[in-house]
Structure 1
Amino acid sequence: MRLGLALRAFWKAMFDRQVAERVALALDGVDLASQSVAESTPAVVGKEPVGGAPRESAQSDAVTLLAALQRDARLVDLIHENLDQYADDQVGAAARPCLKQCRQTLDRLLGIVPLVEVGDGQVLPVDASTSSARLRWVGESSGASQGKVVHHGWVATQVQLPAWSGSADDALVIAPAQVQAP
């Protein structure tokens, strides 16, 4: 559940500025029910906010993370490669170093650790007030006070994304084009 939610949030925030702003507010602990996003962020037309000071150019956290995964592991290159032309063992050989480097990058930037320290198949006590962001029942729960762990989940212990220092025009660039003199 959390991985699916995180991926949905990642992709929606990556391509929709308003969603990215709402996610940023939620991550900052702002109660979105009592504060509308329209009140907290200026309406943007072109590159200048309407009725306010010029907006600072900033790269969204989603693009920053994707750029780090591309720089360190060439993840976007692997995803966009036409894999139909390669045998499964060739795809596996190419994916292995990419996935290892993606893990190192995610661990460095987000400090990812298991959410619960209980192994798959072991019993986990469950409090009735446990957040649905932390625990998802698979199958019938019927008010059970314990459950068998199917997956331990993941949690970030930190968020240390590089600060964006480029221009607003370049904020959506994931990786620069590489050129060589003729």
Structure 2
Amino acid sequence: MFKMHLFLVLCLSVLISGCSPMPAEITLNSKAHSAENAGLIVGALIEGGPYGTWIEFRDVNTAKTYGWGAKNYYSAWLPAGVYEVSRLGSRSGVMAAYTKPLRINVKQGYINYLGEMAYDCPLLAQPEALYGVMSCGLLALGSCSVPPPSVGICIVDRQEQTIRRFLKRHPEYAQMNVHSSVLSAR
């Protein structure tokens, strides 16, 4: 009985964390990060769902992760460096890269444009990356795999209109230069 109760509590906490807000350390009004020690990322999720989609960036050098439930257009501060999209959340479950993960290079002191991620991109459109629902098994002990890909991710580059929209809402960042860091698996 206790094990079932513990299992239900664990499942509930995973569901709640999937709808997590952006961590305070990377929000636009962060006290920890600014143009002096980080880069501002700006991007969008197309068809991310009514409640948004969990997105997690992992620093390739330090393995530190930054994740939140992003919805539509998003912006956040990330320390300069190379990042991978290590996890994406969906109604199907948590997804990881099937082949090469999407990557970005964040430049300190710049607005780093990431592009717009489109889910369910057909294979004929040549998706930038393939992601699949992770299979962790009951006794996986920290190791998970992505057996088949379940979604193609296309990246649409609408830098001019997205940055214009962002600066209209946040004119305090108009003095920052823009760095094109469109998500790519290459």
Q: Quick check: which one's helix share is greater?
A: 1
Q: Quick check: which one's strand share is greater?
A: 2
Whose radius of gyration is greater, 1 or 2? 1
Output the TM-score relative to the length of structure 2.
0.23
Output the TM-score relative to the length of structure 1.
0.24
